[in-house]
Amino acid sequence: MAEMSAAEKVQADPRYRKVRERDASADGAFVYAVMTTGVFCRPSCPSRPARPENIAFFDSGAQAMAAGYRACLRCRPLALETADPQIARMQDLAAFISAHADEPLPLKRLAARAGMSPFHLQRTFKAALGVSPKDFQAAERLKAFKSNLRQGESILEATFDAGYGSTSRIYEQIDGGLGMTPSAYRSGGAGETIVHAVRQTALGALMMAATDRGVCFVEFGASAEDLVRRLEREFPRATLQPAGKDADEPLDAWMAALDDHLASGRPKPDLPLDLRGTAFQIRVWRFLLSVKPGDVVSYSEIAEAIGAPKAVRAAASACAANRLAVLIPCHRALRADGSLGGYRWGLERKRALLDAERGQRAA
């Protein structure tokens, strides 16, 4: 039987019908997130429904926030989540951090505001939102920095208005969240050059693309044309340049090394990565980098390892959001029962990658 597509899986979920019908009786039972906008909503949200392949379901707004989504300002899904006083308190604290992200917010100050010890606050906040208060503030500060740039502020103005103390450490503090220079981001990516290459591998067509900071895109696809279209959707205002003699020859060498890894089991190339995601997603991806070839971990083990044991669904969503196939080994993440779970590039590829790694380990 052919594997169901992402859209078909969502359409088969009974929650999708409630979203399509804007069923108010389902409000509070779950929320749905829209991957293309980064927003999550209650089922009855009056906004125009998203395409099914762009929808993800979560049991609660806290889980959606842990996965990097923000609450819809139109339907306000968090207003329903007041049954758990601890979650409500952490949501209030998260709103306070968002409003004061440009200020120093030591854990002691936040703990005093929440009426908790610093240790208890740290654990409770992580359990509710999937990230520490410090990481949450960093993400909110970055969000403000990006918004300031989009609104036309100079890099210097945007830096200080977002609460960064100086421009000298701006690249270090926004590691992975911007993915390009501030000046390039300010112009919507215009002027940013992304070099790309496509090779036929043992697992089908594979594209790799990189900015000056490192590899930002590695995906399998049906054809080179399909992969170029995906890259164009991902970076609509960047200059896309095929690798080759007149382009970025190191990228072509990187592709050759990755192809050798897939075809003959040679070591995975250690390449510079341009990670783009929320603080929580990047923590998941960095943990996956520590999982050895041939080993597997469950989504619950990932959540436990990064200090957010209740954010299992968020950890799974972070794996699904990975756009660096093989280099970030999300294929090593399985369900708790040992089944393969999902894989954005198809379960057959996931199975083949795991089988190859296990074979090499046993050799």
pLDDT, tens digit (0-9, with 9 covering 90-100), for 117-164: 988 888 888 766 667 888 888 777 777 776 666 566 555 565 666 665
Same domain, 254 and 327: no
The CATH number covering residue 30 comes to 3.40.10.10
For 244-270, how does the pLDDT look when each residue is reduced to its tens digit (9 = 90+)? 664 456 777 788 888 888 877 777 777
Interior/surface letters 128-147, b for 16+ CB within 10 angstroms, e for the rest: bbbbbbbbbbbbbbbbbbbe
Task: Give the per-residue pLDDT at 167.
Answer: 46
Cβ distance 295 to 302 under 8 Å? no
Q: Has residue 90 been placed in a domain?
A: no
Catalytic residue among 45, 216, 319, 330: 330
| Residue 151, pLDDT score | 61
179 within some domain: yes
Whether residues 331 and 350 fall in one domain: yes
Looking at the fold, whether 60 and 12 belong to one and the same domain comes out as yes
Q: Which two tokens stand for residue 326?
A: 């093989």
Is residue 111 included in any domain, yes or no? no
For residue 159, the enclosing domain spans 136-186
Q: Which residues of 296-313 are buried (b: 16+ CB within 10 A; e: fewer)?
A: bbbbbbbbbbbbbbbbbb
| Residue 226 counted as domain residue | yes
Clarify whether 41 is annotated catalytic: yes
* DSSP symbols for 151-167: TT--HHHHHHHTT-S-S
Tell me if 235 is assigned to some domain: yes
Position of tokens 């609660």? 60
Amino acid at 150: R
In this structure, the answer to whether residues 258 and 283 fall within a common structural domain is no
Same-domain check for residues 235 and 172: no
The single residue of 41, 45, 216, 319 carrying the catalytic annotation is 41
Q: Which residues of the chain have pLDDT under 70?
A: 1-3, 80-85, 127-130, 146-191, 244-249, 361-363
CATH number of 353's domain: 1.10.10.10
Do 234 and 216 have their domain in common? yes
**pLDDT tens column, 185-211:** 544 455 678 889 888 888 889 999 988
Please tell me the predicted confidence (pLDDT) of residue 176: 46
> What CATH number is associated with residue 255?
3.30.160.70
Choose the final residue of a domain: 153, 169, 186: 186
Does residue 182 lie within any of the structural domains?
Answer: yes
Tokens representing residue 14 in the block: 């009974």
* Shared-domain flag, residues 215 and 287: no
Instruction: Please tell me the total count of domains within the chain.
Output: 4
Q: Are residues 284 and 355 in the same domain?
A: yes
Instruction: Produce one character per residue of 220-234: b if its CB has 16 or more CB atoms within 10 Å, e if not.
Output: bbeebeebbebbeeb
Q: Give the whole-angstrom CA distance, residue 37 versus residue 160.
A: 27
Contacts of residue 177, defined as CB under 8 A and 6 or more positions apart, other chains included, come to 139, 142, 276, 277, 278, 279, 282
* Three-state secondary-structure class, residue 85: helix
Q: Does 114 reside within a domain?
A: no
Question: Does 75 qualify as catalytic in the annotation?
Answer: no
**Are residue 284 and residue 357 in the same domain, yes or no?**
yes
Domain boundary among 232, 264, 296: 264
The DSSP code for 116 is S
Report percent pLDDT > 90 for the chain. 11
Q: Is residue 127 part of a domain?
A: no
Distance of alpha carbon 113 from alpha carbon 92, whole angstroms: 10
- Domain endpoint, select from 80, 101, 128: 80
Q: Cβ neighbours of residue 98 under 8 Å, at least 6 residues apart?
A: 140
Is residue 219 within 8 A of residue 325, CB to CB? The reply is: yes
199 and 164 within one domain: no
Question: What pLDDT is recorded for position 168?
Answer: 47
211 is written with which tokens? Answer: 């900015």
